[in-house]
Structure 1
Amino acid sequence: MISNWLGSAQLRRIDDRQWESIVGVLPDKLSVRAKNRELTYRKFVEGVLWVIGEDAFWGELPREFGSWRALYVRFLRWNAVGVWSDVADVIGRDTALARALMQRADQHAAVVHRRRQRVAQVWMLEASP
């Protein structure tokens, strides 16, 4: 279980056991990539958990985690395939961090859905005679 994420501005790390558990719940191809490029993917997951744990904006992500935009786009991609629900299970569904992670994932999924609906509506309006 990942603990002590909320309430502290420190940069935190997930331990090896936690990382192995997270990799174990990833979809097959993603799991292989995460194993082959462990440092990159681990830093990504830690960055996401930092943003969630600190209830921060993506742009507030410390530079040590890399580009916040790249992290955000990957977060959305993982969200689209339902990865964060599995990660929340690894963290522990009853923890504040897991609840915050799922809340943020749901919020972003809703935004993506609304954007797709708007684009479809605009396309339909432009296509009608």
Structure 2
Amino acid sequence: MKSIKYTGKLSDGQWDKVAYILSRTTRLDLTQHEYRAFVEAVLWVILNRKAWADIPPHFGKPKSIYTRFYRWNENALWHILARRSIHDQELHQMLAQINDRCDFLNRRREFRSQDRIDSRQENSATLANHQNGVIAQQESTPDPSH
């Protein structure tokens, strides 16, 4: 996918499409300016390949933006936006890049979760083997009182 340099401003027409899609799929009050600034902040981070901490101050607090980005990812809102914006190629391409980042984060989260499960299972198996070894050793050691 071609990289797009993002300056931090959706056209009014693009925002209207995003707001329309969100209004049909969520209960968000999209008349609030903060949602447009939030979407623009996410686009700025993803399309410019920047860290969340580098978000320009006029977008808002980086931690708040990342937290909302994460929640929208968990609720598949980015996927919905990309899937339903196919009639505007530029907007669709921008939202598809957000989806790519979301997919990466989701795979990483699944990998880490599986890694923790595997680690717990290994720890349980090691503990069980150790306990079995101690029991086996105790059973094979003659009782000195007999």
Shared fold, TM over 0.5: yes
Aligned-partner Cα distance in 2 for 1:39–1:17: 15
Which has more radius of gyration?
2
Question: Which residue is equivalent to 1:109?
Answer: 106
Question: Which residue is equivalent to 2:5?
Answer: 7
Residue 53 of structure 1: CA displacement?
1.5
SS at match of 2:43: helix
In structure 1, runs of 5+ residues without a counterpart are none
Residue 75 of structure 1: CA displacement?
0.9
Question: Which residue is equivalent to 1:81?
Answer: 75
Deviation string, structure 1 residues 57-92 (Cα, Å, up to 9, x no partner): 212111111111211111111111211122224253
Aligned-partner Cα distance in 1 for 2:4–2:69: 20
C-alpha RMSD of the superposition: 3.0
Aligned-partner Cα distance in 1 for 2:77–2:23: 8
CA shift in 2, pair 1:31/1:122, >3 Å: same
Structure 1 runs (4+) deviating above 4 angstroms are: 93-96, 118-129
Aligned-partner Cα distance in 2 for 1:95–1:25: 12
Higher normalized contact order (CA 8 Å, seq sep 6+, divided by chain length):
1
CA shift in 2, pair 1:31/1:96, >3 Å: closer
